[in-house]
Structure 1
């Protein structure tokens, strides 16, 4: 029932969808739980209820989402840099990205997460340029919907108040601080009043150095584990380890980690991230001077650091970093090599 790279999650998502589909429609709808990881199962269950169990249904939905991801990625790149900064190679990479395409062919929630994060990023870019309350509200709502599929994504919303405080030049002085605090307060209310399954321990006040250390110990059992033994013993360790863990989340596997064909495919994805990291660093001044790009960068960095502390193997890391690959590519779109495509023949 599952294609390569989908793992046990895809099997479970599909199995629960079939089990739930045998209930009445009202039971399926009323039992939808947006605080856990199985919203995709509830959505699939509704279709199964009417159409019967057919793996083509959730795969078809993910395929449609994959097409929309490609379309909205083009919208995002143009929103951030304008038409003059749009690069055809950006479109080609997004269209042919192997992991994005795999996510469109398996029963995983990744495409649901990605489509809403990209849409949210479009409105974040709009807000960075026009400071519209409507754009800010759309950004928060879309991030919230994406977080229904994975609770950790809610942290992406923290980028907006941080951008208002540290990056926005359109809002000045006390107004900037008050607006930033107001949006931060909204974010805090959402975090404290809603149940985000993946963040439940943190929401219950369990976040501590000891908690992070235990988290590391529990997640370093896979054969793709990295940074084994790097557990924080104090707050200073949390600070200096954050960029290292984030880099490993994005950059693994290294060539010497490849032990199978699957690892080789992941290496190609890692090489793309090496290029993205290099281009962001090389053109950091241009990105900083572009409000839309800088706002998206802040949101991405916050969430990537959070996922880096929740992941200790590149088998899982590949799925997490792919959630942000479109935004990362959009940030460096103007700096990718320029290529020309022609279908004409002589």
Structure 2
């Protein structure tokens, strides 16, 4: 593990932007340091979210390693415990190995966001600022250092955002298929990730990437039909894997009982009771806002809550606000992509918010969607004085191709060359006479 970490540091340090390279190295070192703290010094100060759930995931992973037949049955640890249980079956139940692997998923999320910034017209300074937020977000550092599934799901959602952005720019159906694959794999770890895919589907129906405008096209519908057929076939063949979480909601009483359940000292909206589907839709946006912002300033109980709000909640509440505030300053393509991501963010926040009722759980679950918010922040930091003009990426790519010369330009260049040749001949003649 130490050798791998040293090699990873060497590779990260070779990033083309020196400041970003430093951020990546520092991010990896901090995460590895938090792993050692969680395993050896947690009796002094326990890391947030390290405890019951992390122990549950580890115990089930260890059980899978000891009895691989558990891979074929439903266990509480789900796909995360099965994945790490398979790794433990090969290496032995080494917890430090499992948590270091989680660190690598967290760093992979950071690198995927870096790939997204490469698609955008961001200057060096703004790229460094975006990557600083992504690499050093406190909740990200902690959640990727303990034995929880958030980093794995966050990496898959960020990857789906990357492929979706590639499809949005190029219109290639391959990228749309890869987007669906990432969402489906993410849904095996947490079923609510399907909501991210619903947002992508809504956008793919009404957006024409070849014309860079919103509107229904036959090509888009064809790609959508192919992707939908693949998704339905996979889900229908493995319903327990993707939709198992919803099997317990056999009646409205059970569903609304789960929605109204409150637990923990950081619970919010305790006075809100939902008893019908219209009320669920009506209060869905409110619960989504609380999901993104909890703990709200009026619910802060102490220093930890205040730190969580300032270092985490502000990012999730501020990213959509920042984009909407700066949308008129963005290039047309970046603005449209931002609207597309906003659709997925709104749908996902409503779905996740319906099942979360306390700030601690909200801080964990919203990190699964962090890739969408990081991409939105990166989009917001781009700029274009003329919103209808092409982005800087398009301009730079066009500069690589030499433009065809007009007839007058070609004639002018030939005449200039002729004058230069004549001048050279006269100079040579004078030298020979001397």
TM-score of the two chains, using structure 1 as the length reference: 0.83
Which string of whole-angstrom CA distances, capped at 9 and with x for unpartnered residues, describes residues 262-288 of structure 1? 323312211223322321331345488
Which string of whole-angstrom CA distances, capped at 9 and with x for unpartnered residues, describes residues 6-56 of structure 1? 231110111112222223xxx35x725689642222232233334333220
Match of 2:208 in 1: 168
Larger Rg: 2
Inter-partner Cα distance in structure 2 for 1:164 and 1:337: 23
Match of 2:313 in 1: 270
Q: 3-state SS of the aligned residue for 1:312?
A: coil
Give the counterpart of 1:247 among 269, 275, 289: 289
- Contact 1:147 1:153 survives alignment (8 Å): yes
Matched positions, count:
331
Match of 1:303 in 2: 348
Match of 2:298 in 1: 256
Q: 3-state SS of the aligned residue for 2:263?
A: coil
Match of 2:186 in 1: 146
Match of 1:54 in 2: 94
Matched, 1:95 2:139: no
Cα distance, 1:206–1:281 mapped onto 2, change above 3 Å: farther
Matched, 1:281 2:328: no
Cα distance, 1:228–1:82 mapped onto 2, change above 3 Å: same
Inter-partner Cα distance in structure 1 for 2:198 and 2:111: 26
Give the counterpart of 1:67 among 107, 119, 123: 107
Match of 1:214 in 2: 257
- Contact 1:34 1:149 survives alignment (8 Å): no
> Tell me, which stretches of 5 or more residues in structure 1 are unaligned?
339-346
- Contact 1:73 1:118 survives alignment (8 Å): yes
Which string of whole-angstrom CA distances, capped at 9 and with x for unpartnered residues, describes residues 150-185 of structure 1? 111122112232112233353764514565466456
Report which stretch shifted further, 114-123 or 220-229. Answer: 220-229
Q: Which has the higher contact order (CA 8 A, sep 6+)?
A: 1
Match of 2:63 in 1: 19
Match of 1:82 in 2: 121
Which string of whole-angstrom CA distances, capped at 9 and with x for unpartnered residues, describes residues 287-319 of structure 1? 885343333322222211100111111111111
Match of 2:36 in 1: none
* Aligned Cα root-mean-square deviation (Å): 3.1
Inter-partner Cα distance in structure 2 for 1:299 and 1:240: 19
Inter-partner Cα distance in structure 1 for 2:274 and 2:236: 26
TM-score of the two chains, using structure 2 as the length reference: 0.67
